[in-house]
Amino acid sequence: MTGMARILVVDDELSMQEFLEIFFRSEGYDVVTAGDVASGRLHLESGDFDVLITDVQMPDGSGLDLLEAAHEHSPDTMVIMITAFASTESAITAMKQGAYDYITKPFNVDEIRIVVEKALEKKLLSSENKRLRTELRSQERDRSIIGNSQPMQRIFELVHQVADTKATVLVTGESGTGKEMVARALHQGGERSEKPIVVVNCAAIPENLLESELFGHVKGAFTGAIQNKAGLFEVADRGTLFLDEVGELPASLQVKLLRVIQERTFRRVGGTRDQKVDVRIVAATNRRLEEEVRAGRFREDLYYRLNVIEIRLPTLRGAWTTFLASSITSWTSARGSSARKCTAAATRPWRSSWPTRSRGTCASSRTSSRGRSPSREPTRSRSRGCRPRSSIRGLPEIRPGSPPPG
């Protein structure tokens, strides 16, 4: 890979800067130079580079500082360390922390050319692999969420847009509308899909145990803490943590959750050491958190930290009529306009009986199939006048309150 790949050279020796700049420009690369760690960090923050070549030892810091800055601001940049024989230990440390390779001084141009070419080849393969996996995830959209209505199509599109970001997402809606399904779709559609998604129901865990469940504890932190325990934040590291019913969090834990979101660090119960964590947080609630904030039951700063992107799920009210209308429209499309006059009559018996939640559909199905014993059902209910049927022959028979077929 040559072309216009960008290389950042950071070295406190001006002669080394000029030599590498002239050489790599002659090889067809775009080269930027810096003479200290501070300048190199500014370049990394303001631009994208394919390769960073940095000296290990400089007056105002170390190449390890630039390696950390590259991971933070330009994680796809391949880092190559230049070191003297006396500082090879630092270069090896850099390799363990994610640097691609190191070169010892003095070196010849062929050596550094080969190292840079191989670094760019690896970066290209990594980028192509990431692109293909992203396309595959987008094609394999989570099939656990179904729906053809316009509101659901908008939700599918929003999930697709934000799945690959690091932004915190707040999923709102009535109980049973599929908030956990959306959280799983966000996880599966993003770059964290190979890491775990950990689900926490904040309302189901007693308040005195919730802190230990989330953050873990050390041995002896409280009665019964006979050994160290990792919390769910640790378990979900580099993955997704789904906080269901986040509106039920007590005020004391709201403060600690806010700190984790802001600082990306937490401390085990009874511990003295802060631990870093890389977790994508998806929260859900059936409450209106803005009203909880006004009532003083939920922290305003935490609300805005959670509500970076909101996905509001619609209820299933009206879905039954939409389903029938869609079925009748499909059936009548090949049979002429006269059949379309039956649409209103066909949908009238079911307009007010559709449950408002996805869980309610299952309950309705059980009720319709098991609610009455055949021996107790009046004979007249089998007659044409009392048995609810579709007004158009060929459509499936469906009772009021039962879920749509298929």
Is residue 360's pLDDT more than 80? Answer: no
Range of the domain at 341: 319-382
398 in any annotated domain: no
Per-residue pLDDT tens over the stretch 166-176:
899 999 998 88
Is residue 37 within 8 A of residue 66, CB to CB? The reply is yes
Query: What integer best gives the mean pLDDT of the chain?
Result: 79
As for how many domains the chain has, the answer is 3
In a shared domain, residues 101 and 152: no
Rounded to whole angstroms, the Cα distance separating 210 from 206 reads: 6
Rounded to whole angstroms, the Cα distance separating 86 from 58 reads: 14
151 in any annotated domain: yes
388 in any annotated domain: no
Rounded to whole angstroms, the Cα distance separating 149 from 359 reads: 19
In a shared domain, residues 223 and 331: no
Per-residue pLDDT tens over the stretch 15-26:
999 999 999 999
H helix or E strand, kind and range, residue 301: helix 300-306
In a shared domain, residues 158 and 297: yes
350 in any annotated domain: yes
330-358 average pLDDT score: 53
Rounded to whole angstroms, the Cα distance separating 258 from 165 reads: 20
In a shared domain, residues 324 and 236: no
Q: What confidence score (pLDDT) does residue 280 get?
A: 95
In a shared domain, residues 110 and 187: no
- Pairwise pLDDT comparison (190 vs 251), residue with the higher score: 251
- Strands 51-55, 57-58: parallel, antiparallel or unpaired by DSSP? unpaired
Per-residue pLDDT tens over the stretch 130-152:
777 766 665 555 455 666 677 78
284 in any annotated domain: yes
Domain end (from 115, 135, 155): 135
Is residue 396's pLDDT more than 90? Answer: no
In a shared domain, residues 191 and 298: yes
In a shared domain, residues 50 and 94: yes
Rounded to whole angstroms, the Cα distance separating 208 from 170 reads: 25
Query: At how many degrees (to 10) do helices 109-139 and 14-26 cross?
Result: 60
Q: How far is CA 290 from CA 48, 247, 254, in A?
A: 39, 10, 15
405 in any annotated domain: no
In a shared domain, residues 200 and 171: yes
In a shared domain, residues 121 and 182: no
400 in any annotated domain: no
Where does residue 44 fall: left (phi above 0), alpha (psi -120 to 50 degrees), or beta otherwise?
alpha
DSSP letters, 239-291, are SEEEEETGGG--HHHHHHHHHHHHHSEEE-BT--SEEE---EEEEEESS-HHH
Rounded to whole angstroms, the Cα distance separating 364 from 330 reads: 25
Q: What confidence score (pLDDT) does residue 50 get?
A: 92
Q: What confidence score (pLDDT) does residue 131 get?
A: 73
- Pairwise pLDDT comparison (346 vs 84), residue with the higher score: 84
Residue 11, C-beta contacts closer than 8 angstroms, at least 6 positions apart: 17, 20, 33, 35, 53, 54, 55, 58, 82
294-306 average pLDDT score: 95
Domain end (from 92, 108, 135): 135
**CATH no. for residue 249?**
3.40.50.300
Predicted TM-score of the model (pTM): 0.54
Q: What confidence score (pLDDT) does residue 193 get?
A: 85
Is residue 13's pLDDT more than 80? Answer: yes
In a shared domain, residues 254 and 343: no
**CATH no. for residue 119?**
3.40.50.2300
How many DSSP H helices and E strands does the chain contain?
15, 16
In a shared domain, residues 298 and 261: yes
In a shared domain, residues 25 and 100: yes
Closest CA to 388 of 355, 353, 359, 336: 353
Domain end (from 116, 135, 154): 135
